[in-house]
Structure 1
């Protein structure tokens, strides 16, 4: 069983983590996480957990402690980027691993970054290293991806849209699927309904006490091309 933890960066009430026109980063990251979870659950032997909560901000230590306690195999933090607090031209997508560049984390980061760039068409800022808490304090493969700048007007327009949120989720999941060679669950087909026996309709022409009359009618019907049968009532 592959255990995956998705971390929607920050929280619903985190101060400052919003665009110059007040769009919350968490509105984007939580949506991407929801779409990614639904996509991952169609694969075999996968369990998906959330590090965040939609009701309250979850401290970083609680997030990584939960991941370590559950012994997840893969930790993916989803973010949108910012450069200062005003509108800027900074743009593009980048993915981070810890300073020591763990081999599996780098491999996963490269796959996720590649798929994000292909899917979104945004500038490729590459795979980088950073001393982020969620990368440093997790005991498993961990990456953090920045899916565009919410301080860039054109990229914020994308970030706000559900179609872009789904696109990012699909790209992240594709990177995970490629890394861990996941296979989709086999489609279950409903049991076939038993075919009802065909109903037979009977036409009775006559009933006779005298067998000779019965035989005479039988002969007449056969001469006319019918295929009559005799049914004897006891």
Structure 2
């Protein structure tokens, strides 16, 4: 599964900022970064960026990259605006191209629903638009507007790392649901419970003791920490100092 995330615009794109100066790209790229990290925990999933921190990548270059890589889905991440001064426009909306397949609409609906539920902001619905990144991509493509930069309350949210993570998680959840993505198995680092069936039988005629050591530390605190962990798993350890 190949996924392209597109953080809209760039740091220095004219006009694309809150009235008090935060570049829209600052929000967009953060959400994309959080989403990429989360998506990398799924099996058989490769994530690409259409954007670049060093410049405002032209729209054609973004869609050409997606088409050349033959990605399966393209998600553009934006913050909305109504004019350039503070006003009351608010909420979440997600866009698809008018003639894109049913799959794009389904994904957009899931992203929209997750964003609204997760953020608690107004549901402005899924809409259609003739945006370049929706029109010129050869795969399922959606564009999410995650709040208004020109609304004081939402602008504050857009500058919050917690809100950015929330938006990323909502988008990732929708992608995982739409494409039935499966998480990679976690590596089991737990200490196994004692299994008496594999322990050697004691030798009745043996003299002395057979000892098993699982750690050696200069700091007693480290030894005590291991003792506590072993006790959780049914062992009866003790500390011996020499």
TM-score category of the 2 structures, normalised to the smaller one? 0.7 to 0.9
Cα contact 2:51–2:57 (8 A) shared by 1: yes
Q: Where do 5+ consecutive residues of structure 2 fail to align? A: 195-199, 211-242
Counterparts of residues 175-186 of structure 1 (less than 5 Å): 175-186=174-185
Larger-Rg structure: 1
Q: What's 1:28 paired with?
A: 27
Q: What's 2:164 paired with?
A: 165
Q: What's 2:67 paired with?
A: 68
Cα contact 2:98–2:129 (8 A) shared by 1: yes
Counterparts of residues 135-146 of structure 1 (less than 5 Å): 135-146=134-145
- Between the aligned partners of 1:201 and 1:115, the Cα distance in structure 2 is 61
How far residue 54 of structure 1 moved from its aligned partner, in angstroms, is 1.0
How far residue 191 of structure 1 moved from its aligned partner, in angstroms, is 9.7
How far residue 201 of structure 1 moved from its aligned partner, in angstroms, is 5.3
Cα contact 1:101–1:129 (8 A) shared by 2: no
User: Any idea what SS the aligned residue of 2:164 has?
Assistant: helix
User: Any idea what SS the aligned residue of 1:100 has?
Assistant: coil
Cα contact 2:100–2:140 (8 A) shared by 1: no
Q: What's 1:116 paired with?
A: 115
- Between the aligned partners of 2:209 and 2:188, the Cα distance in structure 1 is 35
Cα contact 1:95–1:146 (8 A) shared by 2: yes
Kindly tell me the number of residue pairs found equivalent between the two proteins.
200
Q: What's 1:58 paired with?
A: 57
- Between the aligned partners of 2:181 and 2:209, the Cα distance in structure 1 is 56
User: Any idea what SS the aligned residue of 2:15 has?
Assistant: coil
- Between the aligned partners of 2:121 and 2:67, the Cα distance in structure 1 is 33
How far residue 200 of structure 1 moved from its aligned partner, in angstroms, is 3.9
Q: What's 2:221 paired with?
A: none
Q: What's 1:213 paired with?
A: none
Q: CA RMSD in A?
A: 2.1
How far residue 57 of structure 1 moved from its aligned partner, in angstroms, is 1.2
User: Any idea what SS the aligned residue of 2:65 has?
Assistant: helix
| Mapped pair 1:125 → 2:103 | no
| Mapped pair 1:85 → 2:84 | yes
- Between the aligned partners of 2:22 and 2:43, the Cα distance in structure 1 is 36
How far residue 102 of structure 1 moved from its aligned partner, in angstroms, is 2.0
How far does the alpha carbon of each residue in 1:164-223 deviate from its partner, in whole angstroms, 9 at most, with x for none? Answer: 000000000011011001110011235979x9x999459xxxxxxxxxxxxxxxxxxxxx
Q: What's 1:14 paired with?
A: 13
How far does the alpha carbon of each residue in 1:131-173 deviate from its partner, in whole angstroms, 9 at most, with x for none? Answer: 0000000000000000000000010010100000000000000
When normalised by structure 2's length, the TM-score is 0.79
Cα contact 1:91–1:148 (8 A) shared by 2: yes
Greater Cα offset, 179-188 or 75-84: 179-188
Q: Where do 5+ consecutive residues of structure 1 fail to align? A: 203-234
